[in-house]
Amino acid sequence: MLMLTAVAALTSAYLILGRAGMSRLDRERDALPPSRQPLVSVIIPAYNSQKTIGGTLKSARALDYPRKEMIVVNDSRDSTPAIARSYGARVIQNPERTGKPASLNRAVGASRGELLFFLDSDTTASRDCLKRMVPWFSRREVAAVMPRYLLKNSSPVSRLAALENLFTFALLRIHMFFGGMVGFRGCSVLIRRDILERHPWPETLMEDNHLSATLASQGHRIVWEPLAVTHTREPGTTHELRRQKRRWGEGAYLAFRGHWRFYLGSPQFISFFYPYFALGIATGLLSILLILSPLLFPSLAAPIIIELVSVFVAMYLHSLILFRTGGGGFLPLRTLRFMLLYFPTMTTSYFRGILEGIVRKRKGRHELHFSDW
């Protein structure tokens, strides 16, 4: 029952650190001075987005913030520009497909805002989103603020993806205990203009991972503001999930490869990666022993089975607790489906992406490719 004890200790540590992290966040938020209201440029990159961008622009226009401009940079040939102009947005049309990072940098160059709010074309923001995030920039060390992102679409797969987000939120509580995040999700994030003038969006497969690691490694602070809310679309089918996680796996490997010294020394990364990596290795070794036990260790089969079952139960309870800590309710059946169906699909696709990234790097191919979109 050694692993059962380890998982219980990990869960307790996460709860304690997470609560301390949220207490720190609340204290710092309460101490923020009355904020001035700098101009905010809402930048929306679009690719084949005519079905979703109307909702995004509607939410951007409705933001309860007086000084803002909206810019849409379109990377495809559809009716997105006409829709964007009907909502009062300025449109930048790329003559050919350049990819999201290049589009973002082009929009940054055309924008006027001191702060830049990046929204994916399938993401919507709550009315008070900017009001919640902008005050953090009264602290000069804050380079970026990421809101809480919730599920926009609803399907059996997307609802399980929402559990993954809850898990992430539980971990972000711990990140805030250490002072800030080491990464942000690019579907919705507010960034200082002068930061992006020094560090443009990198033209990589996961530009948000690369940029956030660069900022955090140079001492800039990335804040999570859970009171600011956006809604984003998650994979709605198993096929979409596999494609997304394969792309994320490849991108995460390449980002790690470029910033591995920073990650391996980061307490945020250490608190997440090392414990789960150790549990994964131990579970894998137990599984191998179970397969070999009929031939080599007959007497060990029963104890190994008991240990593996106890690990599954412990991880189920661990996940159940973290999902609730991350802002979900008590979700026993959905958590079971997550562990039995979603998690295996996610991890196999993710590791496939890592392997593809290794091969792509060895062959010297450019990592930003459009085949997975």
List pLDDT tens digits, range 28-85: 999 998 878 999 999 999 999 999 999 999 999 999 999 999 999 999 899 999 999 9
**Residue 319 backbone dihedrals phi, psi, to 5 degrees:** -65, -40
pLDDT score of 152: 93
What is the pLDDT averaged over residues 148-171? 95
pLDDT score of 4: 81
pLDDT score of 347: 95
**Residue 41 backbone dihedrals phi, psi, to 5 degrees:** -95, 120
What is the pLDDT averaged over residues 305-309? 84
Following DSSP, what letter does each residue of 38-79 receive, concatenated?
Answer: --EEEEEEESS-TTTHHHHHHHHHT-S-SSEEEEEEE-SSSS
pLDDT score of 372: 54
- Residue 127 token pair: 């009315």
Residue 224: strand pairing partners: 146
Integer Cα distance of 306 and 311 in angstroms: 9
Integer Cα distance of 89 and 70 in angstroms: 5
CB neighbourhood size of 284 (10 A): 10
CB neighbourhood size of 272 (10 A): 17
Tell me the domain boundaries of the chain: 1-31+139-373
% residues pLDDT > 70 (the chain) = 98
Residue 211: pLDDT above 80? yes
- Residue 338 token pair: 């997550």
pTM: 0.94
Integer Cα distance of 149 and 187 in angstroms: 8
Could you tell me the pLDDT band of residue 286, with boundaries at 50, 70 and 90?
Answer: confident
Residue 366: pLDDT above 80? no
Contact 72, 91 (CB under 8 A): yes
Q: Which of 39-43, 263-267, 290-294 has the lowest mean pLDDT?
A: 290-294
Could you tell me the pLDDT band of residue 365, with boundaries at 50, 70 and 90?
Answer: confident
Chain centre to alpha carbon of residue 172: 10
Could you tell me the pLDDT band of residue 373, with boundaries at 50, 70 and 90?
Answer: low
Mean pLDDT of the chain: 93
List pLDDT tens digits, range 314-351: 999 999 999 999 998 889 999 999 999 999 999 999 99
- Residue 97 token pair: 């497909």
- Residue 101 token pair: 């990072």
Residue 26: pLDDT above 60? yes
